[in-house]
Structure 1
Amino acid sequence: MYNSPFMMLPGISPQEFSYLRSATTGLNERELNGFLMIYQSKRRNPDDMLLYCVLGFFVPGLSRFLVNQIGMGILYFFTYGLCAIGTIIDLVNHKRLAIEYNERMVFESLQLVKIGSSMQY
Structure 2
Amino acid sequence: MQQNPFFVLPGITPEELTYLQQATAGLTDEQLNNFRFIYQGKRRNPSDILLFTLLGFIVVAGVQRFVVGQIGMGILYLLTGGFCFIGTIVDLINHKSIANDYNKDMAYETMQIVKM
TM-score range, shorter chain: over 0.9
> TM-score, structure 2 length as denominator?
0.95
Instruction: Give how far 1:83 is off.
Output: 0.8
- Matches of 2:61 and 2:14 in 1, distance apart? 31
Uncovered stretches (5+) of structure 1, i.e. residues with no partner = 116-121
Letter in 1 for 2:108: F
SS of 1:59's equivalent in the other structure is: coil
Q: Which residue of 2 aligns with 1:12?
A: 12
Q: Which residue of 1 aligns with 2:70?
A: 69
SS of 2:115's equivalent in the other structure is: helix
- Matches of 1:91 and 1:9 in 2, distance apart? 22
Shifted more, 30-39 versus 1-10: the winner is 1-10
Counterparts of 1:53-64 in structure 2, within 5 Å, are: 53-57=53-57, 58-64=59-65
Identity, in percent, stands at 57
Q: Which residue of 2 aligns with 1:110?
A: 111
Using a 3 Å threshold, how does the CA distance of structure 1 residues 86 and 32 change in structure 2: closer, same or farther?
same
SS of 1:86's equivalent in the other structure is: helix
- Matches of 1:88 and 1:13 in 2, distance apart? 21
Q: Which residue of 2 aligns with 1:23?
A: 23
- Matches of 2:108 and 2:38 in 1, distance apart? 11
> TM-score, structure 1 length as denominator?
0.91
Q: Deviations over 1:69-121 (max 9, x none)?
A: 10000000011111111111101110010000000000000011112xxxxxx
Give every structure 1 segment of 4 or more consecutive aligned residues whose post-TM-superposition deviation is greater than 2 Å: none
Instruction: Give how far 1:2 is off.
Output: 7.5
1:90 lines up with 2:91 in the alignment: yes
Uncovered stretches (5+) of structure 2, i.e. residues with no partner = none
Cα RMSD after superposing both structures: 1.2
- Matches of 1:11 and 1:112 in 2, distance apart? 24
The number of residues matched between the two structures is 115
Instruction: Give how far 1:56 is off.
Output: 1.5
Letter in 2 for 1:59: V
